[in-house]
Amino acid sequence: MTGTHREGLPDWAREASFGVFIHWGAYSVPAWAEPIGALGTIPDEQWFAHNPYAEWYANTIRIEGSPAARHHAEVYGSAPYEDFLDRWQAESYDPAEWARLFRRLGADYVVPVTKHHDGVTLWDAPGSEGFNSVDRGPKRDLIGPLAAAVRAEGMRFGVYYSGGLDWSVADHPPIEIVDHLRTHRPVDAEYAAAATAHVRDLIDRYEPSVLWNDIDWPDAGKADGSLAELMAQYRGVVPDGIVNDRWGADVWDYRTSEYSAGSNHETGTGWENNRGLGFSFGYNRIEDQSLTLSPRGLAQHYADVVARGGRFLLNVGPDSSGRIPDVQLRTLEGVAAWMAEVKPHTTDRRFPGDDEVAVSADADNWCRTWASGGRLVVVADRPEAVRVTAPGYEIVHVALPE
C-alpha cells in the first residue's frame, strides 16, 4: 500500500523525550514469567519457551515443558487463562494518582495497552461483548478515566493496540519460534474488520496523540484498503497525532526499538526506544530490586537515548489491583527530581559536532550530552571532569543519581 505518513514529526513530538508505557491486564493476575534476560540478548530459539514477558503468559503456558507451563499447573491446575479476566478486579485503580506520578517524572505522553495479544479489551470495544473489562473483571472502562487524568496533568495521551496477534480469535498453536509471528496470527478479513472497528472506536472516543500498533496488521486489512482508510480517519481526527512502525505497511511516522532489539532503527532523530523497568512489561512478581533498573540505571538509559536523538518510552507494570509495585515506585520516585533538571524542552535538540561544540571525557567517566535552547546538558559519572567547549551556551553539569 502507498505511504500515508507525514513529512517530519509535529512540534510536540520533536520536543518530547520521555513517555510512559503501561501494560496492565488479565496477565497481571498470575504476574509470572521466567526473568532470563532482556530482549535482544537471548537467542531466538530459547526466547519463547522461557519468555520473560509476563504479558505473554497465555502463550507461554501452552508451550509443553516450559517453566511457565509447570508453574501454571502447580499454582492454578488446569484453569484456563480466561479465568484471570474474572479474577482481575482493579480495586485500587486510581488514574489521577498514576497521572500525578507520571507528571512528576516529567513524562510528555502516556500510552496504555488497550488490547494485548490475549484479546481482552480495556474498554467496551465494539464486538468485544463478554471479553472486555466492562463486562467482566474490573467491570468498567479503564481507558477513558486515564485519558482524562493524563490530559488534566498536561500530558499527551496515546493508545497501544495489538493488531498483529489476538489469541482469543484464532485457534493457532502456541508461538514457539520467531517465524510463528508470521504464520500463527490472524490475517483474515473477519479479524481485519474487527481490529479496524476497535481502532476506529479508540480514535473517535479518545482522540489519541499516539497510535501504537504491535506486531503487524492483518493482511486482509492491508490488501482491501481498510488500513489506508483507518489512517486517513486518524489524520483527520488527530492532525498532529503520530503513528509507530509496527503495521507491516508504510503508514508510520517514526521507528521503534525494544530493549536492544531493533537498534538499527535508532538513527537520526525522532525514533523511540521502549523497555520495561525489569525484563517484563506486564507485572512480574519475581522481579525484585536486583532485576529492576535502579534510579541510576534508568537515568543512564534515558540520557543515552536522548543524546542520540531518540525518545524513551518507559514501561510501568501495575499489579492486578492497579497499584504500581513498590519495587517500581522506588526507581520512579528516585529519578523524578533528576529528570526535572535534565529534560530538554525545545524542538531544536542538537548534539556535539552539530555546532562549535566539543565535549570530551576520560574513558572511565560515562558521559552523554545534548543541547536544547541555550543549554548544553552534560550528564556524567563525574561531570566536573568533562571538558567542554561550547561558545554561547549555558553549560549544565548533571551527575547521575545514586
- pLDDT, residue 351, reads 67
pLDDT band at residue 124 using 50, 70 and 90 as cut-offs? very high
- Taking residues 146-166, what's their average pLDDT? 98
Neighbouring-strand partners of residue 312: 18, 273
In a domain, 96, yes or no: yes
Establish if 202 belongs to a structural domain. yes
Instruction: Specify if 350 maps to a domain.
Output: no
Confidence of residue 27 (pLDDT cuts 50, 70, 90): very high
Query: Are 37 and 120 found together in one domain?
Result: yes
Select from 201, 221, 247, 24 the least CA-distant residue to 116: 24
Domain holding 385, by residue range, is 358-399
Q: Encode pLDDT of 311-337 as tens digits.
A: 999 999 999 999 999 999 999 999 999
**Per-residue pLDDT, 262:** 97
Residues 365 and 338 in one domain: no
Is residue 141 situated within a structural domain? yes
Q: Are 382 and 272 part of one and the same domain? A: no
CA distance 170 to 55: 18
Mapped onto helix, strand or coil, the DSSP state of residue 304 is: helix
Least confident of 129-133, 269-273, 364-368, 386-390: 386-390
User: Residue 2 — pLDDT band, cuts 50, 70, 90?
Assistant: very low
Q: What is the pLDDT of residue 5?
A: 55
Phi and psi dihedrals of 329, rounded to 5?
-60, -35
Q: Which of 100, 180, 89, 86 is nearest to 136 (CA)?
A: 86
Looking at the fold, whether 240 and 98 belong to one and the same domain comes out as yes
**Overall size of the chain counted in residues:** 402
299 and 382 part of one domain = no
Same domain, 240 and 139: yes
Domain count, the chain: 2
Averaged pLDDT for residues 19-45 = 97
Q: How far apart (Å, rounded) are the C-alpha atoms in residues 266 and 272? A: 8
**Would you say residue 4 has pLDDT above 60?**
no
Separation of alpha carbons 387 and 395, rounded Å: 11
User: Residues 242, 157: contact at Cβ < 8 Å?
Assistant: no
Q: pLDDT-derived band of residue 348, with 50, 70 and 90 as boundaries?
A: confident
- What cell was used for 326? 513498590
Do both 93 and 145 map to the same domain? yes
Measured from the Cβ of residue 240, the count of other Cβ atoms closer than 10 Å reads: 13
- Mean pLDDT value across the chain: 95
How many whole angstroms separate alpha carbon 327 and alpha carbon 63? 29
Mean pLDDT of 374-378: 90
Q: Where are the alpha helices (DSSP H) in 43-158?
A: 44-47, 57-60, 67-76, 83-87, 95-105, 144-152
User: Are residues 17 and 165 part of one domain?
Assistant: yes
Q: DSSP letter at 206?
A: H
What whole-number distance in Å separates Cα of residue 252 and Cα of residue 249? Answer: 8
Express each pLDDT in 65-79 by its tens digit.
999 999 999 999 999
Strands 367-372 and 375-380: antiparallel
Average of pLDDT values for 356-381? Answer: 90
- pLDDT category at 1 given cuts 50, 70, 90 is very low
In sequence order, what are the residues at sequence separation of 6 or more whose Cβ sits closer than 8 angstroms to the Cβ of residue 137?
A: 26, 85, 86, 87, 88, 89, 90
Tell me if 160 is assigned to some domain. Answer: yes
pLDDT-based confidence at residue 117 (cuts at 50, 70, 90) = very high
Same domain, 394 and 297: no
The reported pTM is 0.96
Query: Mean pLDDT lowest for which of 24-33, 63-72, 244-253, 365-374?
Result: 365-374
Nearest to 84 by CA among 125, 120, 128, 45: 120
Q: Is residue 352 part of a domain?
A: no
Q: Is the pLDDT of residue 7 over 80?
A: no
Mean of pLDDT values over 91-113 = 98
Q: Which of 118, 120, 125 is nearest to 136 (CA)?
A: 120
Shared domain check, 267 and 384: no
Shared domain for 333 and 372, answered yes or no, is: no
With bands split at pLDDT 50, 70 and 90, how would you rate the model's confidence at 352?
low
DSSP 326-338: HHHHHHHHHHHHH
- The mean pLDDT of 129-139, rounded to a whole number, is 98
Tell whether 329 and 373 lie within a shared domain.
Answer: no
Q: What is the CATH number of the domain that holds 330?
A: 3.20.20.80
| Residue 381 resides in a domain | yes
* pLDDT at residue 49, rounded to an integer: 98
Cα–Cα distance measured from residue 372 to residue 367, given in angstroms and rounded to the nearest whole number: 17
